[in-house]
């Protein structure tokens, strides 16, 4: 029997952390962070990491598991999330994955795995490049390589290109999970307002100092390229005013939220709930209760 897991996905600043904690408390769950930046120690504000109080309210996994000098990939996430799921289930708890990194969540839920001697990080990096192509560019690439696929869609096209490049040793294992994927969304203007307010709050609570520490000590590491930090580097370099840098941070965060929503809507099977709906939480609780009660 497949392991039931709950996934709370959606764009940044939409309220995933708060909902994840409430669900964990309601169903006896533990949370696995599905965020590519929250793995880094000492980067708390810019990554919107769950606070110590929030982490005390529900146990969290895959937060603060890397130094800022380390790299982190989708392969790392899939491997470590699987271990966390096993640990949570062994404790008789419900695994709840909360995050907005679409590639990570999709790779886990689709059972993405490579066999043989293929370098898994290389293939996941190639897959990420393919995901960035438009439909037409992707299908043109398939045609150029004269690949035959049963049905022309993005998923089959990407799979065919991966197999063509890396060989037949690649396999997709049947995922051992039965997921309930809950997506949070909001009216665009309200979401963008929430993002702007979150950035202002981050600045008020020490984001500038956190980003300056990263800029002074580790400006070239993978973690420094995350939204929330790189936008402030031109200010530290004397190339922009603080006002300009903060405006850029808000703009990039809004654009990132748009990309997240596009990913979840087009590439994953997600049931969306509007956070402005006063009945949202009760609806989600009902859906979760029914999901967990299923045989």
Numbered residues of the known binding site for substrate: 12-17
Structure-block tokens of residue 174: 């049947």
**Known binding-site positions:** 10-17
Burial-class residue 55 by CB neighbours within 10 Å (0-12, 13-18, 19+).
Answer: middle
Measured between its terminal Cα atoms, the distance across the chain in Å is 9
What is the Rg, in whole angstroms, of the alpha carbon atoms belonging to the chain? 20
Tokens of 295: 């045989």
Q: Beta-carbon neighbour count of residue 228 at 10 Å?
A: 23
Nearest C-alpha neighbor of 228 from the set 44, 46, 50: 46
Q: In Å, what is the CA distance from 83 to each residue of 4, 52, 133?
A: 15, 23, 32
Annotated binding site for ATP: 10-17
């Amino acid at each position: 029997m497949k392991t039931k897991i709950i996934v709370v996905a959606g764009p940044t600043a939409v309220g995933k952390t708060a909902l994840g904690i409430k669900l964990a408390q309601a169903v006896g769950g533990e949370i696995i962070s599905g965020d590519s930046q929250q793995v880094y120690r000492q980067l708390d504000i810019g990554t919107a990491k769950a606070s110590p109080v929030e982490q005390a309210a529900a146990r969290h996994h895959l937060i603060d598991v890397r130094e800022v000098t380390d790299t982190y990939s989708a392969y790392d996430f899939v491997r470590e999330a699987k271990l966390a799921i096993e640990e949570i289930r062994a404790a008789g708890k419900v695994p709840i994955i909360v995050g907005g990194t679409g590639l990570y969540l999709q790779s886990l839920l689709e059972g993405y795995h490579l066999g043989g001697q293929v370098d898994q990080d290389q293939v996941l990096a190639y897959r990420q490049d393919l995901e960035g192509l438009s439909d037409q560019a992707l299908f043109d690439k398939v045609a150029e390589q004269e690949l035959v696929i049963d049905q022309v869609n993005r998923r089959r096209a990407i799979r065919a290109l991966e197999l063509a490049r890396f060989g037949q040793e690649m396999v997709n294992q049947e995922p051992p999970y039965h997921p309930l994927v809950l997506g949070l969304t909001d009216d665009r203007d309200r979401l963008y307002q929430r993002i702007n307010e979150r950035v202002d709050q981050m600045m008020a609570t020490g984001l500038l100092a956190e980003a300056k520490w990263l800029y002074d000590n580790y400006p070239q590491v993978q973690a420094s390229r995350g939204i929330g930090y790189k936008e402030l580097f031109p200010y530290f370099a004397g190339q922009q005013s603080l006002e300009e840098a903060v405006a850029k941070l808000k703009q990039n965060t809004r654009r990132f939220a748009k990309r997240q929503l596009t990913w979840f809507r087009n590439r994953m099977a997600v049931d969306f709930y509007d956070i402005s709906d006063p009945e949202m939480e009760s609806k989600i609780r009902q859906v979760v209760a029914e999901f967990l009660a299923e045989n």
